Amino acid sequence: MKAIVAGERIDGRETIAVFDKYTGTKIDTVPSLTAEDVDRAIGSASRSAAAVAGLTAYRRREIIDEVAGEVDKRREDLASMLVSESGMCIGDAEFEVKRAANVLRMYAADALRLGGEWLSLDADARGAGRHGYYFRVPVGVVAAISAFNNPLALMAHKLGPAFAAGNAVVFKPASLTPLSALTVASMFADSGFPPGVVNALTGSGEALGPLLAADPRVRVVTFTGGWEAGEKLAKAAGPKRLLMELGSNCPNIVCADADLEAAVPSLISAAYSFQGQNCLHAQRILVHESVYGRFRDEFVSRASKLKSGDPRSPSTDVGPMISENAAIRVERWVSEAVGMGGKVLMGGHRSGSFFEPTLMENVPREAKVSCEEVFGPVTVLSSFSRLADAIEVSNETEFGLQAGIFTRSLNDAMSAVRSLRFGTIMVNESSDFRVDMMPFGGVKRSGIGREGAKNALEAMTEIRMAVFDQRSPG
């Protein structure tokens, strides 16, 4: 599959192979592009920025809606592509395609809502006889860099607001899962946007990412990925606007009065969906000591029935991880935790790129599976006696994306909402819940800024103020 630069489909002198994550067979190649290609793509976006900014909001909405419709038409092909390139189970892949189309429609609608405000400047004595208003204009060029775990949804959350706001884009999908994202990028390139507005690069993120971030023609960098990569991009970017989601370590608190019939299946899904390769993954579950044994037994009983295998089969619950190296790392972290006194209640074994859904207890807080982002199908169980203690332990992480609490007590729920240092607190829902219009993002090492319709569009525009002196001359 080709990259898109300056209105052309291009190859590279070298290529990157894309493999089926279940069979291990090569399914395609993408170009491994260079600094020269990055410069050309940014130049193209910069030159075409005025043309896309000149489109009416109505036309931008129309184009994005048309691409969303094309995504719907090709949902079977895109879902199959997602299963192959990512190892995502077929049900999750079908949902991913539907979600991406809906996210694009959401941003398309919000293109019509970009506005401003009229200001009465005579609130200050110096403003007498003057009136003003502000409105929003596109920043110009947006660099969008995405992760492997939700190739289409992440792309939609980056390209959707960028185009809705009237910007040109240089997009780089993850090298492990570039095919579905490139397919949708091609839909945008073939749509009604002026030539050069849509650029999609493939290649090493480590090499290309800092070049994109550092270029002064790029005014906004939106990135989803790991903390280390995000830190490098931020240093390269310097003083420009950043939207970064950099992972998490999500705690979920189960209180003594929680509805376990609801909490257990919700948390199993949050722990093992897409093999735990999810920034909202329920990595830690803290359960009140009075219901700890019951919760643990019910969780193990139900989760042990999850079926691993071919992600194309509708009966499969758990597919392969993104690579064997990723599974080896998770295996190493689990072994470390066991060596520190942790106990494996279920799972814990690896076969190639498959890692069993794993639940552990008695894990020291300093073990990697407890304090870092595991990004795999491993969840750590612990008990607490006071809610204040559970909140304190939850807050120990350097991350702060989302957290969950299960309780029937309004007071306990409000206490958690006030005290948990995370971007979003779920009440009677796992940390793995997201509706796409939410202001999505975290605190601490989980990132900068918020996605979601209004938030992302505002981040990809600039305020322009106009002031009129209406005093009579003389």
Among the options 94, 245, 356, 373, which is catalytic?
Answer: 245
Buried b (16+ CB within 10 A) or exposed e, 280-302: bbbbbbbbbeebbeebbebbbee
User: How far apart (Å, rounded) are the C-alpha atoms in residues 383 and 254?
Assistant: 9
Strands (E), 126-191: 130-138, 141-145, 168-172
Yes or no: say if 112 and 61 are a contact pair by the CB < 8 Å rule.
yes
Task: Tell me which residue of 187, 168, 171 sits closest to 77, measured CA to CA.
Answer: 187
Strand pairing of 26-32 and 378-384?
unpaired
Do residues 403 and 426 lie in contact, with contact meaning Cβ atoms separated by under 8 Å?
yes
Asked whether 386 and 415 are in contact (CB, 8 A), the reply is no
d(C-alpha 146, C-alpha 226), whole Å:
11
Catalytic choice (94, 279, 373, 451):
279
In the annotation, is 279 catalytic? Answer: yes
Give the DSSP letter string of 289-344.
TTTHHHHHHHHHHHHTTPPBS-TTSTT-SB---S-HHHHHHHHHHHHHHHHTT-EE
Instruction: Evaluate whether 56 touches 64 at the Cβ level (below 8 Å).
Output: no
Known active-site residue 245:
yes
183 φ, ψ to 5°? -60, -45
The CA distance from 361 to 296, in Å, is: 9
Asked if residues 209 and 33 have their Cβ atoms less than 8 Å apart, the reply is no
Quickly count: other Cβ atoms within 10 Å of residue 53's Cβ.
18
Report the distance separating Cα 19 and Cα 35, nearest Å: 25
Strands 168-172 and 198-200: parallel
Active-site positions read 245, 279
